[in-house]
Chain A
Amino acid sequence: MNIWEFVTNILFQPASLAVLGAALAVILPGWGSAKAVGFCGEAVAGVMSEDPSKFGKALVLNILPATQGIYGFVVAFMVMIKTGIIGGGYSLTLNGGLYLFAACLPMAVVGYISAVKQGKTAVAGINMVAKHPEASGKAVTSTALVETYAILALLVSVLFILFMPAALTAAA
């Protein structure tokens, strides 16, 4: 099998494309969230070594960037339902596969970037909480601002998937 045959016969199949999109929606935001929660955890450990009583406030900031991974998972799950991987009952056209692949991209790309950037804001917030625990609400708010874009990406990806034109699917 040459490359051309691989592309047309295997990669450019409806289910492959949709699954590729879903996989990216899990991989990239999950990767970003893991990275961000990881370096936030390091910052929290640093603060804890000084004053363990701030753990509650620091923990909220620590897990804020975890949500992108969850959003990615939600998108992937909706693709699984749409493609019939879960539940069955659908079969896609090639355009449908490509459509779902594209629908996953906002979540996949924005999810990764926003998780990492949110993590950096959260680290700054954790360091601030170490000095001014009473201002933790402000730190949480400015960290949550970053997430707005992950939420918008999630909304767009989800709406794309839910409102997929019926012509792109055919009952199996």
Chain B
Amino acid sequence: MSIAPMKKLSLFAAGDDCDAIVSGLMKLRCIEIVTADAEKEALPACEYPGEKADAEASVARIRSAVAALEKYSVRKFALLKPKITVDRDAFASDGSSERAWETVGKVEENLKETSRIEDEIRAAEDLLRVAEPWYDDTLPLDFEGTATTSFVRGSLPGGTDIGALTEALAERFSYLTETSSGGGTVYVGVYTLNGYSDAAAKLLASVGFVKAALPKSPKTASALSREASSKVSRLGKEKEKLTEELRTLALEIDDLRVLCDIESTVLETFRNREKMLSAGPVNYLTGWAPAEKQEKVEKFLSGFACAYGFEDPTEEDDPPVLLKNNAFAKNFEWVVGMYSYPKYGSYDPTFIMAIFFCILFGMMFADAGYGLLFILVAFVGVPALKIKGKLKKNITMFGWCGISCVIMGILFGGFFGDLPYEIATKMFGAPEFKQAIWIDPVKDPLSFLIVSLGVGAAHLIAGMAVKFYILCREGHVLDAILDIGLWWVLFGSVALVALVPNVGIWVLVGAALAVILTGGRREKNWLMKPIKGFLSLYGLINYCSDLLSYSRILALGLASSIIAMVLNIIGTMPGNTVAGWALLIAVGIVGHPINIALNALGAFVHTSRLQYIEFFGKFYEDGGREFVPATEIGEFTDIDDE
């Protein structure tokens, strides 16, 4: 309901205490540490390059170990994985931390060994591939000829006329043997009498002979291959053993995750300490804290030899914004945040917005069945899966909207679309009946449109009321009455015209005249006053277009209920048979989730739009910055951010 007042903390502390103070403040989670302005204060910033680099290296080592083990870990699904609950201090003192570091070392050793083995396997497999064409060659691979001849192995392109080549080589005192052929290549060995090698080489080059690149080995190709393949299978077994070891180490992955959070917190502490300025033996820290947390911070700081003060923000300051809302409305703060946080010191609209959000969402997605699913996920699933933090708020918000969907679904007749109606009439031949207890938007869209616009009018008037309140709070009561109150009279008189035309028309004329007369009151130039006054009556068109914008409630409501209806019509086509029920269930299981996904998104986006443009447009001052307190890192572990 409100924006928390902030206090600015200035703190001087002995350099030795800084680590304890900053990490203590991070545990308290109620101070946003600000990067101090080194130029303004004419002091150098604190720097910890060495410590920071060490911490970064530690985090990187743990992260790569965790990433390697994740493949073998049982808990894979990140979204549903509850955070680890652990006492960090106990973890550090009872030796778990050392054991986790040992595990990191083992994983690193293992990965190094694995990659070495993989390299060796690759080399052996390369050898197998190279040696394959020479299996039938009985000569050792390093054989290069006898005392009177030279010998060379190589390949010729397939289709070479071997007979002709053999004859041509014979003229150059050479002898060709074919070893094997395959893949469009012929593998040959060529003996040449000493002194004729150049002539033979020239001829061979002209037919595309390529010398084979074989390892120099006194063994034959087949012997070498046998060795290589036995090596591959032996290395494969070793690799298997290493993988098995990783699988065992993966059982300790949660300890590594805890260690990762602890080391990341150390790194974060250094990052926060670098926001301080150094003034000789003492360091200077500035930050923002909610005023209500001042006492808590003071109590913590009293344990240290330090000087500090809390001040109210001045005009020059840019305090961060912390919204304070009840258990219901705080789930909607992120919707406000998606637009922009309100300016510090302005009005927090979350609560009113949350109420209208539920109503508008419920009307656009008026289905009791879908609403029940939302409620189930938000109020049963979230606690069961121990989902916390931002995600919990996101889902809980849809849970509250689900309650509204159930109510609207009963009013406007939606339970998985018209499922009860289709089952009763098609499966059991019941007479036609009205599923909605109030209005069925598919059968009577006009009434539903009128209800939509009525809710829209209430929403707009609520927005204007907030502006009225803000103006009064700032002491501009006259502005509030003339800029907002007169419009309400004008709106009221439109309704009055419909009820009591004789009186209403005069009230309407009077209100319009009042708007024209007062609209130009801020204008200095007397000539401009009436012109500005007439122009302000133009605001009526804006209000009309704002109001018509709420017709989207009908459109989105129809879209979701008609798609559900199509699913139900298809599902009940075969009638009351086993196949019929099977089809109904199958169509429902596939179709309804798709309908929910598409139309819940549409309802969310368009409800948000009605809030941002039609509602916020009336009063909202944006441009606030979210309060982000310095905190321990809780990527994997539970730091209880409630």
Interface residues of A (CB under 8 A from B): 60, 63-64, 66-67, 70-71, 73-74, 77-78, 86, 136-138, 140-141, 144-145, 147-148, 151-152, 154-155, 158-159, 162-163
Given contacts A67-B598, A155-B554, A155-B555, contact A144 B605 (CB under 8 A): yes
For B446, list chain A residues within 8 Å (CB).
159, 163
Query: Is B559 in contact with A74, judged by CB distance below 8 angstroms?
Result: yes
Kindly state the separation between the CA atoms of A140 and B613 in the bound complex, as whole angstroms.
12
Given contacts A138-B339, A141-B613, A152-B551, contact A71 B608 (CB under 8 A): no
B324 within 8 A of A: no
Task: Output the least CB separation between B559 and chain A (Å).
Answer: 5
B436 within 8 A of A: no
B606 within 8 A of A: yes
Contact of B598 among A70, A148, A162 (CB under 8 A): A70
Query: Is A141 in contact with B609, judged by CB distance below 8 angstroms?
Result: yes
Kindly state the separation between the CA atoms of A67 and B551 in the bound complex, as whole angstroms.
16
For A77, list chain B residues within 8 Å (CB).
562, 566
Kindly state the separation between the CA atoms of A137 and B613 in the bound complex, as whole angstroms.
12
Task: Output the least CB separation between B598 and chain A (Å).
Answer: 6
Query: Is A67 in contact with B559, judged by CB distance below 8 angstroms?
Result: yes
Task: Output the least CB separation between A149 and chain B (Å).
Answer: 11
Given contacts A70-B598, A74-B563, A158-B445, contact A148 B338 (CB under 8 A): no
Q: Which among B338, B555, B569 has the highest number of chain A CB atoms within 10 Å?
A: B555
B355 within 8 A of A: no
For A70, list chain B residues within 8 Å (CB).
559, 563, 598
Kindly state the separation between the CA atoms of A101 and B602 in the bound complex, as whole angstroms.
27
Kindly state the separation between the CA atoms of A154 and B560 in the bound complex, as whole angstroms.
13
- Extra inter-chain contacts (9) besides given A74-B563, A86-B569, A140-B608, CB under 8 Å: A60-B605, A78-B562, A136-B338, A137-B340, A138-B339, A141-B608, A152-B551, A154-B555, A158-B558
Kindly state the separation between the CA atoms of A78 and B566 in the bound complex, as whole angstroms.
10
Contact of A137 among B549, B551, B612 (CB under 8 A): B612
Interface string of B415-447 (1 = CB under 8 A from A): 000000000000000000000000000000110
Query: Is B612 in contact with A151, judged by CB distance below 8 angstroms?
Result: no
For B563, list chain A residues within 8 Å (CB).
70, 73-74
Closest Cβ neighbor of B562 among chain A residues? A74
Task: Output the least CB separation between A88 and chain B (Å).
Answer: 13
Main secondary structure of the interface of A (DSSP, over half): helix
- Count of chain B residues near A, Cβ 8 A: 28
Kindly state the separation between the CA atoms of A77 and B566 in the bound complex, as whole angstroms.
8
Given contacts A77-B562, A78-B562, contact A137 B601 (CB under 8 A): no
For B551, list chain A residues within 8 Å (CB).
151-152, 155
Which parts of B580-607 form the interface with A (CB within 8 Å)? 598, 601-602, 605-606
Main secondary structure of the interface of B (DSSP, over half): helix
Closest Cβ neighbor of B552 among chain A residues? A151
Query: Is A74 in contact with B558, judged by CB distance below 8 angstroms?
Result: yes
Kindly state the separation between the CA atoms of A157 and B598 in the bound complex, as whole angstroms.
21
Interface residues of B (CB under 8 A from A): 335, 337-340, 445-446, 549, 551-552, 554-556, 558-559, 562-563, 566, 569, 598, 601-602, 605-606, 608-609, 612-613
For A137, list chain B residues within 8 Å (CB).
335, 337-340, 608, 612
Kindly state the separation between the CA atoms of A70 and B556 in the bound complex, as whole angstroms.
10
Query: Is B445 in contact with A144, judged by CB distance below 8 angstroms?
Result: no
Query: Is B602 in contact with A67, judged by CB distance below 8 angstroms?
Result: yes
For B605, list chain A residues within 8 Å (CB).
60, 64, 140, 144
Kindly state the separation between the CA atoms of A137 and B337 in the bound complex, as whole angstroms.
8
Kindly state the separation between the CA atoms of A144 and B601 in the bound complex, as whole angstroms.
11
For A73, list chain B residues within 8 Å (CB).
563
For A64, list chain B residues within 8 Å (CB).
605
Task: Output the least CB separation between A56 and chain B (Å).
Answer: 10
Closest Cβ neighbor of B599 among chain A residues? A70
Query: Is A71 in contact with B566, judged by CB distance below 8 angstroms?
Result: no
For A86, list chain B residues within 8 Å (CB).
569
Query: Is A140 in contact with B338, judged by CB distance below 8 angstroms?
Result: yes
Kindly state the separation between the CA atoms of A5 and B192 in the bound complex, as whole angstroms.
91
Kindly state the separation between the CA atoms of A97 and B608 in the bound complex, as whole angstroms.
39
Query: Is A159 in contact with B608, judged by CB distance below 8 angstroms?
Result: no
For B555, list chain A residues within 8 Å (CB).
71, 151, 154-155, 158
Task: Output the least CB separation between A55 and chain B (Å).
Answer: 12
CB-defined A-B contacts under 8 Å, sample of 28: A63-B598, A66-B598, A67-B598, A70-B559, A74-B562, A77-B566, A78-B562, A137-B335, A137-B337, A137-B338, A137-B339, A137-B340, A137-B608, A138-B339, A141-B609, A144-B605, A144-B609, A148-B552, A151-B551, A151-B555, A151-B556, A154-B559, A155-B551, A155-B554, A155-B555, A158-B445, A159-B445, A163-B446
Contact of B609 among A66, A71, A74, A145 (CB under 8 A): A145
Kindly state the separation between the CA atoms of A60 and B609 in the bound complex, as whole angstroms.
14
Kindly state the separation between the CA atoms of A154 and B601 in the bound complex, as whole angstroms.
18
For B602, list chain A residues within 8 Å (CB).
67
Closest Cβ neighbor of B613 among chain A residues? A141
For B340, list chain A residues within 8 Å (CB).
137-138
Task: Output the least CB separation between A33 and chain B (Å).
Answer: 11
For B554, list chain A residues within 8 Å (CB).
155
